[in-house]
Amino acid sequence: MLTVSEILGIEKEKIARRQPSEEDLRRIPLERPGRIFGRLSDPKQIQESLQSMAELAALVRLARQDGFQTELSNEEVESRLEAIKQSDSDALRYWVDGQLIVDLRDLGISGRLGPDKRPALAEFMADLSRGEAPEVTGTIYLSSEGVSRLSRDQDRIIGPQLLKLMKQANCRVRTPYDILNPRIDADWRELREGFEDAAKESRHLQEKHFGPKKREKAKKGEHVGNQVTPGFIIEIKGYKSNGSYIFGKWQPYPPHAEIGIRILQEYIRCGGSKYKAAQALRSTVFPFFPEELKYMETRSSLRNCLKTQAGYIITPEVIEGLTRQLALIGTWKWSDILIENNHPAIAPLDLFGEAYDLSRRRGNKPRGRAAYYDPLDWDGLLRCVNHESPRRISGHGSDGSWVCALDYHNGTGPICLDINHRIISDPLTREFLKCLDLSSHARAVFDEVQQRAAATEEEEPKRKREEAHLKSRLANLENYLGDSDSEMEESYRRQIRQAKADLRALQNKPLPAPVTSVDIDRVRRFLGNLEDEWQKLSSTLRNHLIKMLIDHVDIAHDQYHVRATVIWKIGFKQRIDIERPVGNSRRERHWTEEQDSLLRLLWPTSTKEVLLAAFPNRQLGGIRGRAAKLGLERRVRHYPPQWKGWTVSDDNRLAAQYVTETPIEDIAAELGRSKQAVLSRACFLKIKRPREIRFGFPKVNWEVLNFYGLEAVSSLLPPIRVA
Amino acid sequence: MKDERLTRYVEVGLPHLRQVSRLPEYLVPDVADVAHELGDQAMLKLAEPLGLSEGIKSLLNQSPEADSLPGEIWEVDIGRWQAVRQVVPVTLALLRACDKVEALERRGVAGMNSATTVRGLATIAFATFAPNGGKILDRLAGILGGNPAEPAALLNLYVKAMENGDKDTLADVEECILQYPAWAEWSKRFIAEGMAFPFIPRVIGVSPVPTGELIRLLAAMIVEVTNADRIRDIRN
């Protein structure tokens, strides 16, 4: 028969094996160190917030009440805190008192900062990272403001990190009112919410603290920290005790004000185009502030502008901003506060009014509906090397063009490159695929395809099994509903919601596309003739392959040529010289001064053939139009050769060739007639030229130079010795 | 089963030729595939006009199986071949010539028809390595203004003439080749074989490392294309 002591021993063993209860988890572990953690956001609070500082002393007392053994008396602790309050340079901010660690090194440091700038937090986190051990902090003492003392991280990273560490180390959070342990679900949630509130409160506190003061100041039309409009400086009314400025109203700054007026004038002259205005003002800059106005460098909105040695560059954004700045006409605007004649105006009202109206009308243009365009092939790999340092060329999927326009957008230069993407992409793709040899990977690719097919086959039954399991779990949980314990009831309802969500997600998840079985020969053919299959692939996969193998492509270009140097990741290089087809865009067809002079010389007396030979990239219609625009007149009439009738044979030849890609000029030459005659006859015979030929993409010509790595090898190789 | 001993000789001997001549594997990587596709019959037929066919056949009959020959023998014998030093320069010049001709054709200024160009380039390149090619190479060098000992330079001169639109020189080369019945017939058969060939041999083969990511991507590509083809078939 067991004795009472034996029975008690058995029961004690049972208790020891049991999962710790919430009560156990909330019990303060006196065998492990306790840590008093103090933090105040502002150094001023150390002197001014008497209550907060008093709370720190109260925390030490609380720890003693909890059972921690300490050696320092209450008076000693209070005197140390007093030394901190007095900003005594010898004041201790960290001490170990028996089982208690008092860490006040974060006093005066914002809770928004991370452990890199907060020594106390860094040490606490490092301590917790050692896990649940006798020498690791078992209880952290925080003032009544709770976990906001630990962190107010706006990125919501440090809070969850701390929670995880505290859970791993089984560290309790002790406040004057509560003991929480992150190992308890409810406490975990409460602490998590505490960190979230602390982050939110931080923002709110700032607004609450500074908002009314700021508003009062703004109502007086005085500077409240917003960026100062170009053309103005801030009046300094005085200095605070800590040496910082007390600002008054804005004042005109003539060197910048003059430029502001020029900007408005140019903006109006350019019809409201900020880009054109920026181009026109390329040689103008806002000069730097002199030494006595150095404080304006960080307060003027010009601080965001690019700089040259002469000053701040006038960007399109600056121009657009100025056209809407009421400050230019002396009106102060801050939030909903509007004060007329607050400070001297720097721009005449009529000038500003016109610019403002233009800007408003242009800005009100409705935006189109957002549309998705596939990225262009080679997107992200092209770099323009026509600059001091290479610049990324943007691919515009919407209009299919490659554009290098950083200078233009910064207002520092014209558009560098704007070219139809096919002119570059087609030769690049062609030469890339010509060199790419994937045939040796056929077996590995075939095995991968087989694996995918098997996985897809397995997916459907697996999905059905999971669905059945979830449905059965749902049915079971629903049976438990109606429990008298409200906590249990809530727990079941939560689990039911989760199970329903999982089921819905599973049912909505699309099945992977079935893999059509392929044989090894098909794989070999595919890899060997990738060029033929290329256009069938989605742009995502095409780009993925290109980006996997190509490091970058350097693009050097002028009006007539594009030189692309393709750098493969394995080090292989290709140089592709592309001839730019004559485009139809206005910029490329722009008549130069020399061309105009030549036209003036030739137009009065030259024949059509001479004119076409003189302007090889232009058509007669274009030349005629330019001549009319220049007010030129023909002095000699060149009559066409004698008319000759169209024979049946001529008509047949015309019908056969007109629907092919043969240029009209060539057909005309073959038939011995003018281009106009060919067009008229085709129209008469109702022969239609296919649309894809009429509006076809101009043919792109290029030459490639592959760097085989043997360029030094000549025909005069040294004799080869064979062992 | 067909007796493809010549094909096998080409397949087995090619790595040794590459090693001795220092021709990298990534240049003209499809030679073995081309030989395989052609087979003994076509290759011997091609060699016939130059009088090499019978010699090759008798040599093949006397020789052991290609696979049984040790590597050292391959390399010693290839090393004794005088023309082996021309393999790299001629290959490079030919590749450059092909790129150039392709560019001229794209621009529509090649000036000559493709058959003429292929005949000219192929004859200059092959005559370098043919046992009886010296004579025609001397004459072609005279027309092109080059040195027969530098066939790579002759290929460059031929392309230069194309670029310059020097039709007289190109016509002279053509006429010269056609004056030699053996080379006229060889080039004719060469062009015919080329036209009938099922794939375009690769000029250069950049073969990336088969990482898991690459293999998965290629598998995704073939699945996408195959599924798209299947959907198209069903719709039709």
Based on the fold, state whether residues A164 and A249 are members of the same structural domain.
no
User: Looking at the domain assignment, is residue A616 inside a domain?
Assistant: no
Mean pLDDT of B20-42: 88
Q: Which domain, by its residues, includes B222?
A: 209-236
Task: Classify the phi-psi angles of A672: left when phi > 0, otherwise alpha if psi is within -120 to 50, otherwise beta.
Answer: left
Based on the fold, state whether residues A38 and A176 are members of the same structural domain.
yes
- Domain total for chain B? 2
Are the beta carbons of B20 and A518 separated by less than 8 Å?
Answer: no
Parallel, antiparallel or unpaired: strands A179-180 and A232-239: unpaired
pLDDT of residue A586: 55
Strands (E), A468-585: 550-557, 561-568, 573-579
User: Looking at the domain assignment, is residue B15 inside a domain?
Assistant: yes
pLDDT of residue A721: 32
User: Looking at the domain assignment, is residue B217 inside a domain?
Assistant: yes
pLDDT of residue A713: 40
Using DSSP's 3-state secondary structure scheme, residue A102 falls into strand
CATH code of the domain containing A338: 3.90.1750
A35 contact partners, CB below 8 Å, separation of at least 6: A100, A101, A102, A103, A124, A127, A137, A139, A140, A141
Q: What are the tens digits of pLDDT across the range B90-137?
A: 999 998 898 889 888 887 777 778 889 999 999 999 999 998 899 999
Closest CB from A526, A701, A720 relative to B20: A720
A131 contact partners, CB below 8 Å, separation of at least 6: A168, A169
User: Which residue of chain B comes nearest to A718, CA vs CA?
Assistant: B85
- What pairs with residue A97 in β-bridges? A100
H or E stretch at B108 = none
Based on the fold, state whether residues B42 and B85 are members of the same structural domain.
yes
Based on the fold, state whether residues B62 and B178 are members of the same structural domain.
yes
Percent helix, strand and coil across chain A, each to the nearest 5: 50, 15, 35
pLDDT of residue A585: 56
- Measured in whole angstroms, the distance separating CA A159 from the mean position of its chain's CA atoms is 26
Based on the fold, state whether residues A243 and A105 are members of the same structural domain.
no
Q: What angle separates helix A119-128 from helix A158-169, to the nearest 10 degrees?
A: 40
Distance from CA of B107 to the nearest CA of A (A): 6
Q: How far apart are the first and last CA of chain B?
A: 41
Based on the fold, state whether residues B173 and B218 are members of the same structural domain.
no
Extract the residue ranges of chain A whose pLDDT is less than 70.
Answer: 1-2, 12, 14-19, 203-210, 363-370, 512-517, 582-588, 638-642, 708-723
Based on the fold, state whether residues B92 and B45 are members of the same structural domain.
yes
Q: What are the tens digits of pLDDT across the range A391-439?
A: 999 999 888 899 999 888 888 888 999 999 999 999 999 999 988 988 8
- Chain A residues with CB inside 8 Å of B150's CB? 715-716
Please say which residue of A363, A381, A398 terminates a domain: A363
User: Looking at the domain assignment, is residue B225 inside a domain?
Assistant: yes
Based on the fold, state whether residues B130 and B236 are members of the same structural domain.
no
H or E stretch at A676 = helix A675-684
The answer to whether B148 contacts chain A (CB < 8 Å) is no
Closest CB from A435, A536, A717 relative to B88: A717
User: Looking at the domain assignment, is residue B203 inside a domain?
Assistant: no
- What pairs with residue A145 in β-bridges? none
- Chain A residues with CB inside 8 Å of B96's CB? 705
Based on the fold, state whether residues A57 and A115 are members of the same structural domain.
yes
Using DSSP's 3-state secondary structure scheme, residue A510 falls into coil
Q: What are the tens digits of pLDDT across the range B56-97?
A: 999 888 888 888 889 899 999 999 998 899 999 999 999 889
pLDDT of residue A133: 85
Based on the fold, state whether residues B19 and B75 are members of the same structural domain.
yes
Task: Return the C-alpha torsion angle A333, A339, A340, A344, nearest 10.
Answer: -70
User: Looking at the domain assignment, is residue A689 inside a domain?
Assistant: no
Using DSSP's 3-state secondary structure scheme, residue B233 falls into helix
Based on the fold, state whether residues A238 and A353 are members of the same structural domain.
yes
- Chain B residues with CB inside 8 Å of A719's CB? 85
Please say which residue of A309, A340, A363 terminates a domain: A363
Q: Which domain, by its residues, includes A323?
A: 232-363
Alpha helix stretches (DSSP H) within A270-365? 274-280, 316-323, 349-363
Based on the fold, state whether residues B222 and B123 are members of the same structural domain.
no
Using DSSP's 3-state secondary structure scheme, residue A512 falls into coil
Residue A66 in tokens: 């909890």
pLDDT tops 80 at residue B235: no
Are the beta carbons of A438 and B151 separated by less than 8 Å?
Answer: no
User: Looking at the domain assignment, is residue A31 inside a domain?
Assistant: yes
Based on the fold, state whether residues B130 and B182 are members of the same structural domain.
yes
The answer to whether B228 contacts chain A (CB < 8 Å) is yes
> Which residue of B75, B223, B224, B232 is the best one to mutate when testing the A interface, meaning the one whose CB has the most A CBs within 10 A?
B223
Based on the fold, state whether residues B92 and B192 are members of the same structural domain.
yes
Based on the fold, state whether residues B137 and B89 are members of the same structural domain.
yes
- Domain total for chain A? 2
User: Looking at the domain assignment, is residue B74 inside a domain?
Assistant: yes
Based on the fold, state whether residues A242 and A191 are members of the same structural domain.
no
pLDDT of residue A565: 93
Q: What are the tens digits of pLDDT across the range A263-310?
A: 999 999 999 999 889 989 988 999 999 999 999 988 998 887 888 889
User: Looking at the domain assignment, is residue B145 inside a domain?
Assistant: yes
Based on the fold, state whether residues B49 and B163 are members of the same structural domain.
yes
- What pairs with residue A576 in β-bridges? A564, A704
Q: What are the tens digits of pLDDT across the range B146-163?
A: 999 999 999 999 999 998
pLDDT of residue A513: 63
